[in-house]
Amino acid sequence: MVLYESTRGGNERITSAEAIKRGIAPDGGLYTPCSLKKLNLEEIQALADMTYPQRAVTILKYFLDDFSDEEIRDCVNSAYSHKFSHEKVAPVVELNESLFLLELWHGPTCAFKDMALQILPHLLVKSMQKTGEKSKVIILVATSGDTGKAALEGFADVEGTGIIVFYPDNGVSEVQKYQMITQTGKNVRVFGVKGNFDDAQTGVKKIFTDNELKSFMNERKLKFSSANSINWGRLVPQIVYYFSAYADLVEENRIKAGDKINFVVPTGNFGNILAGYYALKMGLPVNKLICASNDNNVLTDFIRTGCYDRRREFIKTVSPSMDILISSNLERLLYEVTSHDGKKVSQWMKELNENGSYDIGRKYADEIRNIFWAGWSNQDETLKTIECVYNDYNYVLDTHTAVAVDVYDKYVITTGDLTPSVVVSTASPFKFNHSVCKALFGEDRIAGKSEFELLEMLSKETGLPIPDGLADLDKKEILHNSVCEKEGMKDAVVRNLLEWE
């Protein structure tokens, strides 16, 4: 049986349902599997004949072995059988003979967060039932853009849940804002906050630990939970698509079963690429995991030197979903490379908290570099990459994926390695249309145009259809127009919970 333990040590081992229900360990650590199933080549090859939902059931079973097959199938089907606009869910497309793109943005919100947030609500509800938890779960989210909408779509009308999202009133793009304020569902609520993302995040954290609210919640059989990527239930669905991409390449005769490939991952919180690392540990033939960062290149420095140092300027870039200086999921990698040494991990996390940096030393750094390669792309390079790839291949990259393609080019120049490589593509170019249009058509042609006009322009010029989730967004009914002060977030939550009674 696979049990889960905290990355900060202690002896408690719990089931996957318990880990998903709790989200984060009481000691502040992240739940991580004690052991991993190893797949042999035949088992990996067998995935080639399966659909995406079948691949998902196969892989999830190894991690959620306290769930019945039927429970896993239910969750998988609710998530992947009709919500994605591409029949393959996560298709692999060829750019050239050694470079492929794994498109993870065919879900309802046009970014890869859907891959996990479409299934997490179902895993969470089942986990509550399996652990005898009678409360209704209320998801609180502070978002800088992508996560809020993906969580809203995932939890909308899911029985036994409610979701309240806070976004910085002037801190998200027009498209992102309209995606959220037009969200339907009888258990969803969205608030703008007069402040920045940090204010919203701090407000949510305060609500989680407010004692007065705790008794209010207990009396009503309600329980707060979070939907961010420290929850194992958000990480585990991401392991599936690494296997799926490999199986597709085998099925299409691009590689032979057993051949190694590289994955290039545009990285922020380190959740996506960590899922690739678990796939590798389970036996997927991977040569290198290439970690691509934007100007906030704290991970590039870490992987190159073994020293993590967040004491640097935060830079707002054209790939905003990767603008992050504390990559929470790195903690799970540290736990793995130290062979589950919770004491060491706790010490480093304490240093990060107190001094803003830690150093893991030569031995572990070498071990990480055996598997990972790291690079970064500045904003000019990122936009230039969008332009070049469009000219050379007639393919439109979003800004995050462009960071990864640029870093891949740097990897090839530095190492000469021409192993077939898969760039993990994390968003539709329509979602970040302002920067994409600027890269393709120049500043002059987009001047004065709204984001909704740019959607049309991008579609007309490239011949690509505007994705369903984004089309006519400005004509949809606005259902959530409340804006609150940052001090007023708790009141907003309480009033809303009373309304829902």
Ligand X SMILES: *Cc1c(COP(=O)(O)O)cnc(C)c1O
**What residue ranges bind ligand X (CB under 6 A)?**
111-113, 146, 229, 266-272, 321-322, 400, 426-427
CA dihedral (330, 91, 244, 235) positive or negative: positive
Q: Which is nearer to ligand X, 76 or 292 (CB)?
A: 292
Q: Which is nearer to ligand X, 67 or 155 (CB)?
A: 155
Q: What length is written for the chain?
A: 501
Which residue, among 247, 306, 300, has the nearest Cα to 49 in the 3D structure? Answer: 247
Q: For residues 169 and 417, give the distance between their C-alpha atoms in angstroms, rounded to a whole number.
A: 45
Sorted by sequence, the CB contacts under 8 Å of residue 424 that are 6+ apart come out as 102, 104, 112, 263, 264, 265, 266, 272, 276, 401, 404
Name the CA dihedral angle for 300, 233, 335, 246, rounded to a multiple of 10 degrees: -60
CB of 205 to ligand X, least distance (A): 19
Which residue, among 439, 435, 373, 379, has the nearest Cα to 410 in the 3D structure? Answer: 373
Q: Which is nearer to ligand X, 282 or 333 (CB)?
A: 333
Q: Which is nearer to ligand X, 22 or 113 (CB)?
A: 113
Which residues are the active-site residues? 113
Structure token digits, residue 24: 């984060």
CB of 129 to ligand X, least distance (A): 28
Coil, helix or strand for 178?
Answer: helix
Q: For residues 378 and 383, give the distance between their C-alpha atoms in angstroms, rounded to a whole number.
A: 9
Q: For residues 394 and 464, give the distance between their C-alpha atoms in angstroms, rounded to a whole number.
A: 11
CB of 243 to ligand X, least distance (A): 17
Q: Which is nearer to ligand X, 39 or 437 (CB)?
A: 437
Q: Which is nearer to ligand X, 67 or 166 (CB)?
A: 166
What is the secondary structure of 391-430 as a DSSP string?
A: HHH--PPPHHHHHHHHHHHHHHHHH-----EEEEE-B-GG
Sorted by sequence, the CB contacts under 8 Å of residue 212 that are 6+ apart come out as none
CB of 165 to ligand X, least distance (A): 15
What is the secondary structure of 47-69 as a DSSP string?
A: GGGS-HHHHHHHHHHHH-TTS-H
- Are the CB atoms for 229 and 329 separated by under 8 Å? yes
CB of 47 to ligand X, least distance (A): 23
CB of 267 to ligand X, least distance (A): 4
Measured CA to CA in angstroms, residue 202 lies from 144, 179, 183, 254 at distances of 13, 23, 24, 48
Q: Which is nearer to ligand X, 108 or 268 (CB)?
A: 268
Sorted by sequence, the CB contacts under 8 Å of residue 87 that are 6+ apart come out as none
CB of 176 to ligand X, least distance (A): 11
